[in-house]
Amino acid sequence: MRVIIRKTYEEMSKEAAALVKKRLQQKPNLVLGLATGSTPLGLYRELIRLHQEENLSFKNVRTFNLDEYYGLAPTHQQSYRYFMDTNLFNHLDIDKKNTRVPDGMAADVEAFCLAYEEAIRRSGGIDLQVLGIGGDGHIGFNEPGSSLASRTRLVALDEQTINDNARFFARKEDVPRFAITMGVGTVLEVREIILLVNGAKKAEILARAIEGPVTSLISASALQFHQRVSVFLDEPAASALKRVAYYRFSEEAEKKIGREIF
Ligand code: GLP
């Protein structure tokens, strides 16, 4: 894993955006996997700036989002489709037809999940997946105990996730109890991963995820099985890591040899 630590949230977001830009320049029809939550907002703001001020184009990009609340229509202000449109897609030259978010209103969920996996395969597979981490260590909505081989499916949300996300809803009772999420196995098949984590609140769970044993109780720990993961952190999020000196040394080494070291 590459672990890139920056002083502030802004700096870490810019650094992550620089990696997306580089990959987009290497492959203009990049297939991007995207995440929601407050963590990637800084990255999305910077991508919008790169588009508006530096002409970075998303015209040929296709995207797949990780997850969606089950039971929320795309027009619902807390749906992840609405989040993606308002925080990213509406501000880019991307073709909305090429942006996919799981359908929270799917009547036949199982058929929908199979079709979502099939659509990912037909696109040629996800080149670069953006991830955050939940307070309980989840990626997507793969709650503790999710099989590390799991695929896109309907899941029940954990109590901690419902509490964490209650801040976005008028009342805790309004938080959906279910979601559709790509599985851990689905995520592990992408070609490259960006994991973004900021703030002291996530420091402990992040350290357990990347420096602790791999366990289905922390689905982010499965990323240790992936060959190309870049973790972007601000200093508070890095505060519980044991190997910070090595990560900094490795980043210096990257600069010297002019290539990424995973
Ligand atoms: C939700 C999403 C995750 C996200 C997590 C963290 O549960 N399903 O994909 O990583 O929240 O959210 P935040 O970035 O707001 O801490």
How far away, in angstroms, is 258 Cα from ligand 1 center?
Answer: 33
At 186, list the tokens. 């689905």
Residue with tokens 């990626």, as numbered in its chain: 139
Give the model's pLDDT for residue 101.
98
Pair of tokens at residue 229: 């993961």
Rounded Cα gap, residues 34 and 21, in angstroms: 15
Question: Which residue stretches of the chain have pLDDT < 70?
Answer: none
Q: How far is the CA of 255 from the centre of ligand 1 (A)?
A: 31
Give 244 Cα–ligand 1 centroid separation in angstroms.
Answer: 24
Q: Catalytic residue positions?
A: 67, 136, 138, 143
Secondary structure tally for the chain: helices H, strands E: 8, 10
Decide: 161 in ligand 1 pocket, CB within 6 A.
Answer: yes
Task: Summarize pLDDT for 2-21 with one digit per residue, the tens.
Answer: 999 999 999 999 999 999 99
Residue of minimum CA distance from atom 7 in ligand 1 = 134
At 204 the pLDDT is 98
Instruction: Give 63's DSSP letter.
Output: E
Are the beta carbons of 168 and 176 closer than 8 angstroms? no
Of all protein residues, whose CA lies closest to atom 12 belonging to ligand 1? 37
Pocket test for ligand 1, best of 9, 36, 142 (most atoms within 8 A of CB): 36
Query: How many angstroms separate the alpha carbon of residue 132 from the centre of ligand 1?
Result: 6
Q: Which two tokens stand for residue 252?
A: 């210096």
Per-residue burial over 115-132, b if 16 or more Cβ lie within 10 Å, else e, is ebbeebeebeebbbbbbb
Q: What Cα–Cα distance (Å) separates residue 7 from each residue in 101, 133, 158, 173, 236? A: 32, 19, 32, 37, 8
Our answer on whether the CB atom of 38 is closer than 6 Å to any ligand 1 atom is yes
CB 24, CB 59: distance < 8 Å: no
Would you say the CB of residue 140 lies under 6 angstroms from ligand 1?
yes
pLDDT of residue 41: 98
Q: Which domains does the chain have, with CATH numbers?
A: 2-257 (3.40.50.1360)
pTM across the whole model: 0.97
The closest alpha carbon to 233, from 197, 188, 191, belongs to 197
Q: How far is the CA of 36 from the centre of ligand 1 (A)?
A: 6
What is the DSSP pairing of strand 62-65 with strand 31-34?
parallel
- Pairing verdict, β 153-156 and 178-181: antiparallel
- Give Cβ neighbours of residue 58 (< 8 Å, ≥ 6 apart): 24, 51, 92, 93, 94
State whether the beta carbon of 39 lies less than 6 angstroms from ligand 1: yes
- Choosing from 9, 38, 39 the residue with most ligand 1 atoms within 8 A of its CB, the one to mutate for a pocket test is 39
Measured CA to CA, the distance from residue 154 to residue 106 in angstroms comes to 11
Return the half-sphere exposure (C-beta side, CA atoms, 13 A cut-off) of residue 136.
19
Cα(257) to centroid(ligand 1), Å: 35
132 CB near ligand 1 (under 6 Å): yes
Query: What single-letter DSSP state applies at residue 242?
Result: S
Ligand 1 neighbour 42 (Cβ under 6 A): no
Identity of residue 63: T
